[in-house]
Structure 1
Amino acid sequence: MAERLPAIVFVCLGNICRSPLADGALRHEVARRGLGWTVDSAGTGGWHAGDAPDKRAIAVAARHGVDIAGLRARQVRVDDFTRFDLILAMDHDNLAGLHAIAPRAHRADVRLALDLVEGRTGQAVADPYYGDARGFDATWADAQAIAHAVLRHFGAAG
């Protein structure tokens, strides 16, 4: 029987800034390495469902050669806890929201995204939504660090 490929979902509040940036950063690295993993993103809130990422998120990703314009926001679903191996929350509030809806018996490892990055355990990815473009640059840097940490977590770094 073939080994299951990793499936990772990133979660923030509305799924238009932080989680699509992390999604795009990891998808880019996964595609570059030909890994065939499942990568997705979602929000704990559903008010942006169906929307494209924030234009500032699209712009910062594009400056780094990553196209996230085709991503669409969606809300986290209970079946995500069985569909994904790793559910990475961008901050403590979203982590608490995930734990609140998680079924008792689920297979997913649910944690803060930056917990995988050496020296960043317990830290949140800052929400750039109400700031300027510099905040999106900082979020992109975190997204890239998280992507590389996820690769290491699954033994695919290099």
Structure 2
Amino acid sequence: MVSILMVCLGNICRSPLAHGILESKLPSDKFYVDSAGTANYHVGDSPDHRSIAVAKANGINISHQRGRQFKVSDFDTFDHIFVMDQSNFENVIKLARNTHDSSKVKLILEVDPHIKDKNVPDPYYGTIKDFEHVYSLLDNSCNIISKNLINN
């Protein structure tokens, strides 16, 4: 089974969306998707209500997810670790024990060569439109990721 982890800061906005989107595109008998945050602000919390609403509007239920903090053992558990922005990339890389760990970590928007800014904007202080924009960015990248994973 191939395992994929989505990581943002608090694990209530971007990474739960990425988790739900990618999970909806992959067969569950061959792939395991999870999400985490680099900070511990929202451990045990549900995703932000706006993330839940945007996912639901697109036919995806993420309301069952709960926030958790990224831990070093995630390098052992996951084959691929996709982070939402440069700050989270640096925070995860700081925890890497070796080059094998760090080789698993990528910015999620890196998979799309057409996107110039490789940082998924944090919609937390924004409006529902910001969450919809984030959904669109993540959906596009998750399409590419799922095709790459299924074809490998």
Q: Compute the TM-score of the two structures, normalised by the length of structure 2.
A: 0.92
* Partner in structure 2 of residue 6 of structure 1: 2
Counterparts of 1:106 and 1:52, CA distance in 2: 32
* Partner in structure 2 of residue 113 of structure 1: 108
For 2:106, the aligned partner's letter is R
**3-state DSSP of counterpart to 2:54:** helix
Contact 1:115–1:121 at 8 Å: present in 2 too? no
Counterparts of 1:75 and 1:149, CA distance in 2: 26
Task: Say yes or no: does 1:80 pair with 2:55.
Answer: no
**3-state DSSP of counterpart to 1:45:** coil
* Identity, % of aligned positions: 38
The CA deviation at 1:128 is: 0.4
Greater Cα offset, 147-156 or 128-137: 147-156
Counterparts of 1:156 and 1:58, CA distance in 2: 30
* Partner in structure 2 of residue 101 of structure 1: 95
For 2:120, the aligned partner's letter is V
Counterparts of 1:95 and 1:135, CA distance in 2: 21
The CA deviation at 1:146 is: 1.8
Contact 1:112–1:122 at 8 Å: present in 2 too? no
* Partner in structure 2 of residue 90 of structure 1: 84
* Partner in structure 2 of residue 58 of structure 1: 52
Counterparts of 1:116 and 1:79, CA distance in 2: 25
For 1:111, the aligned partner's letter is K
The CA deviation at 1:155 is: 3.8
The CA deviation at 1:118 is: 2.9
Task: Say yes or no: does 1:43 pair with 2:37.
Answer: yes
Task: Say yes or no: does 1:147 pair with 2:142.
Answer: yes
Q: Which runs of 5+ in 1 are unaligned?
A: none
**3-state DSSP of counterpart to 2:18:** helix
Counterparts of 1:155 and 1:90, CA distance in 2: 22
**3-state DSSP of counterpart to 2:62:** coil
* Partner in structure 2 of residue 123 of structure 1: 118
Counterparts of 2:40 and 2:19, CA distance in 1: 18
Number of residue pairs the alignment of both structures matches: 151
For 1:113, the aligned partner's letter is I
The CA deviation at 1:152 is: 2.5
Question: How much is the aligned-residue C-alpha RMSD, in angstroms?
Answer: 1.7
